[in-house]
Amino acid sequence: MREDLEQQEQMQNLKAFWKANGKWITTSLIVLFLIVASVNGWKLWNNYNKDKASKILTNLEKNVEAQNTDIALRLYQEISDDYPNTLQAGLAGLLIVKSLISDGQRDKAVSILGELTKNSQVKWLAIVRLSNILLDLNRPGEVIEIIPEIIPDHWVGIVIDRRGDAFASLGDFESAKKDWLRALSFYNANPSNSDVSRFISRKLATIDASIGELKINKE
């Protein structure tokens, strides 16, 4: 009898609790369900987009290998429009740039690399490759313009080295020396970079000679 009364009391307490908090609990469960569903839905959608972008990238790579540049360009336009700022779009751009350079279409390659500098996935690689082409095209001023002041640590060496090359091409030997010394310091910190360090050291020796000649001529 006592157990029945205790059970009835527990039931009454449960009913009272549910009556007081039922709406809040139900609402919380619905919100939680919606959050979980949204997260899972986003993951599925994101994976679906990645799969589609990867298929376009694979197709583009095949056409680049087959030297179907026009088709590859259309595929690049598709992937960059539909999946901007993705790794797949970045890799697609780098692939088509390589093909364009082989075809002698360096101006088109410069245009696409300029777009890729806005893709966070391949930004710094695009800046380096764009710098190389601009230097080949004798457009050093543009190299200086595309290089930001803040550079990630692991990109400092090569990016600053390219900027030094641009300054040297413009005849600004003091700025070139400053950048090359900074690049040399970066490469000297890693013994595996000894070949690069020696190359930059030779450039510094050459520029020191150029600066010395300028001083003599001014005197």
- What is the predicted pLDDT for the residue at 5? 44
Local confidence band at 117 (pLDDT 50, 70, 90 cut-offs): very high
**Rounded-to-integer distance, Cα 194 and Cα 58, Å:** 37
For residue 214, pLDDT over 80 is answered with: no
User: What is the predicted pLDDT for the residue at 38?
Assistant: 46
**Segment 171-192, tens digit of pLDDT:** 999 999 999 999 999 989 887 7
Q: What's the rounded mean pLDDT across residues 135-144?
A: 95
Q: What is the pLDDT of residue 194?
A: 85
What mean pLDDT is predicted for residues 37-62? 67
Q: Torsions phi, psi of 84, nearest 5? A: -65, 155
Between 72 and 13, name the one with better pLDDT: 72
Domains and CATH numbers, the chain: 14-105 (no CATH), 138-219 (1.25.40)
With cut-offs at 50, 70 and 90, classify the pLDDT of residue 218. low
Percentage of residues of the chain with pLDDT beyond 90? 50
Position 32 confidence tier, pLDDT thresholds 50, 70, 90: very low
In sequence order, what DSSP letters do the residues of the chain get, joined into one string? Answer: -HHHHHHHHHHHHHHHHHHHHHHHHHHHHHHHHHHHHHHHHHHHHHHHHHHHHHHHHHHHHHHHHTT-HHHHHHHHHHHHHHSTTSHHHHHHHHHHHHHHHHTT-HHHHHHHHHHHTT-TTTHHHHHHHHHHHHHHTT-HHHHHHHS-S---GGGHHHHHHHHHHHHHHTT-HHHHHHHHHHHHHHHHTSGGGHHHHHHHHHHHHHHHHHHHHHHHHH-
- Report the C-alpha gap between 41 and 30 in whole angstroms: 16
Assess whether pLDDT exceeds 80 at residue 146.
Answer: yes
What number is the average pLDDT over the span 121-140? Answer: 94
Most confident of 5-9, 20-24, 44-48, 161-165: 161-165
The pLDDT, as a whole number, for residue 190 is 80
- What's the confidence (pLDDT) of residue 211? 65
Q: What per-residue confidence (pLDDT) applies to 2?
A: 47
The predicted model gives 106-131 an average pLDDT of 94
